[in-house]
A and B are shown apart, each in its own frame.
Chain A
Amino acid sequence: MATQQPNSGNPRVDIEYRRKKSAEEMKHQVITFALMIFLTIVAFVAAGYEGFSGWFIVPFILILALVQVIFQLYYFMHMSHKGHEAPAMFLYSGAFVGFITIIAFLTVIWW
């Protein structure tokens, strides 16, 4: 376990280093948050705007949602950190099964 600690021999220096790193990460997360707010506003404006047809808006807002979810998973839920191989496998397996389910339900009412 001790190997996960940065080890300069001086605990004070290690703490300073870690604090700086997590402050840096926090800054990235605030930027991520700002981007997510921006994507949300774009999606709402696109849906509320009369000039676009549904054939454009629907795929467009779905892509925005997907991007926002990736931000959430990788930054807010730390999937970008090391040691998230198993979580990624679980989540993508779930998403894959979920995707097939949605396709199945949608096609079954189309034909």
Chain B
Amino acid sequence: MAAEQKMTYETWPASPEKQTLEAKNKFLGFWFFLGGETVLFASLFATYLALKDKVPSSDMALAKDLFEIPLAFIMTMLLLTSSLTSVYAMYHMKNFNFKKMQLWLGITVLLGLGFLGLEIYEFNHYVHEFHHSFTSSAFGSAFYTLVGFHGAHVAFGLLWITTLMIRNSKRGLSLYNAPKFYVASLYWHFIDVVWVFIFTVVYLMGMVG
């Protein structure tokens, strides 16, 4: 099936994300990238665990002084829900419903923006209320590198999905752009996978002590 072929509801295949050679390569290459990302984040987690609460003086804030359950919980819910909305978007993509796919991707982007806004508030709060900054301690460096790197992934994911939505807004779905949407949604889920470990290892384990 050629990528540029004009598709209809009747001719749209069952796996539109893997029809062309380019799409198959994209799929494989992207999962290879995710394997690498796993190693990258694992090394940041390892660094964080090794340097957690390593501060130069005893009056500096530790993990148990910093983190609060409500904020971490709201952020988790926002990101988790955005994962479901992007599943909805891919469901409509498979049913060749471009408008609904765009709608759910738009909701995903809004939820992601909400998450990012809260994270910016959170970092700002730590720096100004607790003097917990990137350069204040080894703990601070490890914390902002790990959580900030995840935040940067969210920001990049938002730009990626928004760009795809705008670029294809007048084109509709084709076998050329379906894999692009699919891969972007995989990236978005992966961001949520990383966040599950962040809220567990950084926030919850931080509050436990």
Contacts and interface: CB of A to CB of B under 8 A. Distances in A.
Given A86-B28, A97-B42, A1 B36 contact: no
Given A6-B14, A72-B193, A98-B41, A106 B200 contact: no
A44 B204 contact: yes
Given A77-B189, A94-B36, A102 B49 contact: yes
Interface string A32-44: 0100110010011
Interface string B87-112: 11001001100000000000000000
Interface string B67-80: 00100110011001
B38 A72 contact: no
A94 to B, nearest CB: 3
Contact of A61 (B39, B77, B200): B200
Given A5-B14, A72-B196, A47 B69 contact: yes
B74 to A, nearest CB: 11
Nearest to B206: A47
Most buried by B among A4, A64, A105: A105
A13 to B, nearest CB: 11
Contacts of B201: 62, 65
Contact of B197 (A36, A65, A106): A65
Interface of A is mostly: helix
Interface residues of A, number: 54
Contacts, number: 143
Nearest to B94: A22
Interface of B: 1, 9-10, 13-15, 18-19, 27-28, 31-32, 34-39, 41-43, 45-47, 49-50, 69, 72-73, 76-77, 80, 83-84, 87-88, 91, 94-95, 186, 189-190, 192-193, 196-197, 199-201, 204-205, 207-209
Interface of A: 1, 4-6, 11-12, 15, 18-19, 22, 25-26, 29-30, 33, 36-37, 40, 43-44, 46-48, 54, 57-58, 61-62, 64-65, 68-69, 72-73, 76-77, 83, 86-87, 90-91, 93-95, 97-99, 101-102, 104-106, 108-109
Q: Which 9 pairs from chain A and chain B are nearest by CB?
A: A98-B42, A94-B38, A90-B35, A94-B35, A105-B46, A87-B31, A47-B204, A65-B200, A102-B46
17 contacts: A4-B14, A15-B10, A18-B14, A47-B205, A65-B197, A65-B201, A72-B83, A72-B189, A86-B31, A87-B34, A93-B35, A94-B39, A94-B42, A97-B39, A97-B42, A101-B43, A102-B49
